[in-house]
Structure 1
C-alpha cells in the first residue's frame, strides 16, 4: 500500500459513499494519471456522468471531489483520469494510490454531458481540454451514441504531447472494443492538438475553429451548424467561456437534462 494511504485508518462506507479497491494505476507523465477501481453491483450511470470520489480527510471526514467516469457504462470496473497537483488537498495524495488501496465512491452519479440533454443531430463534437477528455471516453464507447449520430468527433487540447492520454486508443478508433469497434471505425474521428510543443496539429481549439483545421477529415461542412451539429464541452473555464460565446452567437441553445438543446457544458467542475 502507498505510504500516503497506509497512515490512515480503514475507510468505512456511509449512506452516501461506498469503499472501493484500486485495481490499477497508469501514470501518463508527471502531470497526469488514470486509475481503475472496483464497481459495486448496484452502481449505475449514464455515459458522460461524474461522481464524487475521495479519501479520508482531516477529522476523519471524507475529502471528496467530482470526477467524470471515463469507463463505458458496461465495464465491470470504473476508470478515472486525474491531474497531479502537488499541494492539492486531494490530488496530492490521490496521485500516490497503488493497487490494493481503497477510496471512497459516491453512490449518485450525475451530469449534463449525456445524450438525454441533446436534441437529435447528425454530428456530435466532443470538445475537451486536459482531463476534460474523461467523460468523452465513456461517451464514445456507448453503442447508442453511434445510432444517434452519423459522426462523432473527439477534440482534445493539451499543453504537451505526453498529455494526450489514451491517444493510442483514440488514434486506433477503439480497435478491439467489444461493443463499438465496427461503428467507431466508420464514425469516430479524433483531433488532438498541442499548444506548447511541436505537433502535427497545434493551437487552441478556438484557433482550429477559426482556421478551419478542426474540420480536416470531418464529413460535412467546415463550420458548425445548429440544425445538424451537437456539441459537448468539458475542460478549462477559459475554453468553455470562449466556445460557449461562439456557439451562442451561431444560434446554438444550451441543453440540460430537463430541456434538451444543441450544446451542453459540464458546469460542476473544470480541470
Structure 2
C-alpha cells in the first residue's frame, strides 16, 4: 500500500482488534500471495484455526476470516490469500508492503484442529486453492506426528503456478527445526492440477475414485472410518461433495464439542 511518497494514517487497536506490522510479502502469481505480520505476545492459537484480518475502511475496518498458515509456536504469523481485483478487502490487501499496518483479531477459533478428531492412524488433509493454509500450520506442529502415523496433504489447484509452498512440501519440510525427521518419515504430499499438464491431474474426487490419492501411502486404497481421519478446506463444492461421500462411507463429522472422523471449517462454508 505504501509507495514511499505518502504517509498512511496510523491504525488504532480496538477491543476486538490489535494493530500489527507487515513483515514480508510473497506474490506467487497474479492471483495468489502470502504474507507475514508481527504476532502479539498475548496471541495464542491452535494449529489449524482462523482469525479475522483487515484494513481500515471508510466507516469501519474491512475484515474477513483467514486461516493461520504458520504453526502455533511461530514468532510471526503467516497467511495465504487470493487476489480479487474488485474485492472490498483483497483488492487493497494485495498491495501491502513490509512496514504497513493491518488489523488482527484477538480471538482465533475454528474446527480444523486435531482436538476435533477422534484418534486414528492416517490423517488426510484435503484442500483446494488457499484452503491449503490451515494445513501448512498443522503439518509443522510436532504434536500431529504423535497423534497420527501418516499425514497426507492433498492440494488441488487449477494451474501449476497456484501450487503455493510447493517446494517446501515437496521436500517434506526439509530444514524445519522441529519436525524435519518426523515429516520425512510420515508426511505425504500430493499436488494435483486440473487445467494444465502436470504429473498428477484431476480433482480430488477423481483421485479418490481411481486410487491415485492413496499411492505411496501405507494401508488400504480407500477411506476406512475405523482408522482414517479427514480435514477439508477449500471450495464449497469440494467440501459438499466429499462430505456426502464420507457420510455414505460411515464417517461422522466432528467438532470441538463432539470430536468425529472428519471436520470442515463451517465458518467458510456458511
TM-score, with structure 2 as normaliser: 0.98
- State how 1:201-240 maps to structure 2 within 5 Å: 201-240=200-239
1:262 & 1:3 partners in 2: Cα distance?
49
- State how 1:70-219 maps to structure 2 within 5 Å: 70-219=69-218
SS at the partner of 1:43? coil
How much has 1:9 moved relative to structure 2? 2.2
How much has 1:204 moved relative to structure 2? 0.3
1:185 & 1:147 partners in 2: Cα distance?
14
How much has 1:123 moved relative to structure 2? 0.1
How much has 1:5 moved relative to structure 2? 11
Deviations 1:127-154 (A, max 9, x none): 0000000000000001000000000000
1:106 & 1:33 partners in 2: Cα distance?
20
How much has 1:7 moved relative to structure 2? 7.2
2:8 & 2:265 partners in 1: Cα distance?
33
Q: For this pair of structures, how many residues does the alignment match?
A: 269
Structure 2: runs of 5+ lacking an equivalent: none
* 2:5 matches 1:27: no
Q: Please tell me whether the aligned partners of residues 25 and 97 of structure 1 are also in contact (alpha carbons under 8 angstroms).
A: yes
Root-mean-square deviation over aligned CA pairs: 1.3
SS at the partner of 2:66? strand
1:154 & 1:117 partners in 2: Cα distance?
18
Deviations 1:107-127 (A, max 9, x none): 000000001100000000000
Q: Please tell me whether the aligned partners of residues 143 and 180 of structure 1 are also in contact (alpha carbons under 8 angstroms).
A: yes
SS at the partner of 1:269? helix
SS at the partner of 1:136? helix
SS at the partner of 1:268? helix
Deviations 1:147-169 (A, max 9, x none): 00000000000000000000000
Q: Please tell me whether the aligned partners of residues 5 and 97 of structure 1 are also in contact (alpha carbons under 8 angstroms).
A: no
1:259 & 1:53 partners in 2: Cα distance?
28
Structure 1: runs of 5+ lacking an equivalent: none
